[in-house]
Amino acid sequence: MQLPFPQAEEPDAQTAENGRLLFAGPSEFVKGVVAMSGLPPADRVEVCFAGRSNVGKSSLINALTGTKGLARASNTPGRTQEINFFTQGPDLYLVDLPGYGYANAPLKVVEKWQKLLKQYLSGRQTLRRAFVLIDARHGVKSVDDEIMKLLDSSAVTFQCVLTKADKVKAVDRDKVLAQVRGALAKHPAAYPEIVLTSSEKGDGIATLRAIINSLL
Ligand SMILES: Nc1nc2c(ncn2[C@@H]2O[C@H](COP(=O)(O)OP(=O)(O)OP(=O)(O)O)[C@@H](O)[C@H]2O)c(=O)[nH]1
Ligand SMILES: [Mg+2]
């Protein structure tokens, strides 16, 4: 029986190669945006990486692009405070979003990010897919569910990416996968495949590259 929300299959050799080639090209930081008025022109396909603080958004962008210091990754939750735009070749923007669900910052600041995040997720014409990152140890939390609802109502297709797969044992991972599948089933905008990744070990990176390439 096919499970709902199966794990994405590994790409065949040609598809994987196309994905590799896309990310073999240069990636460059474009700008960090703090207001909708600052967004770069919507002149290419865009994918974004959303998720709770510290889930591994910036690390995943670094792993995809093979550029360690491109997106700033850190031990301090709430590190990425702007919407950061990166180009990957001439046809694609990778967008690193500020984490949500981080309470340990001044309320005013948190509210400002959340507002911008919501405006961006619901109002960007060229946003082709949102990757919603979920820690493979923790599963979907209520803040994730809220973001998923927002994406449903904005009709932005989102795909769930489990992060830090290297930190979880197989049995625990399967429990979390079941929880994630149950949560995704409630969201019409959820793309029906999950990608399991480790930015540390490289798991799932070739698969994700191929998926992103397929959106161009
Ligand atoms: N073991 C392991 N650690 C990871 C992985 N991905 C990220 N981390 C660690 O998790 C921490 C947070 O990673 P970031 O990439 O900064 O997370 P973020 O989602 O961008 O965080 P904010 O910008 O604060 O929202 C860092 O210490 C990373 O080294 C992974 O695949 N495996
Ligand atoms: Mg970050």
137-165 pLDDT, tens per residue? 999 999 999 999 999 999 999 999 999 99
* 105-131: pLDDT as tens digits: 677 777 887 788 889 998 899 999 999
Q: How far is the CA of 12 from the centre of ligand 2 (A)?
A: 31
Query: Can you list the residues of the chain whose pLDDT is less than 50?
Result: none
Q: How far is the CA of 100 from the centre of ligand 1 (A)?
A: 14
Q: Which two tokens stand for residue 85?
A: 């735009």
Rounded Cα–Cα distance for residues 164 and 151 (Å): 24
pTM confidence score? 0.95
Residue type, 91: D
Q: Which two tokens stand for residue 172?
A: 């625990």
* Closest residue by Cα to residue 152 from 95, 191, 113: 191
Q: How far is the CA of 5 from the centre of ligand 2 (A)?
A: 26
Rounded Cα–Cα distance for residues 209 and 205 (Å): 6
Tell me the domains of the chain and their CATH numbers. 13-214 (3.40.50.300)
Q: What is the pLDDT of residue 77?
A: 63
Residues with CB under 6 A from ligand 1: 51, 53-59, 73-75, 77-80, 99, 163-164, 166-167, 198-200
Rounded Cα–Cα distance for residues 56 and 27 (Å): 19
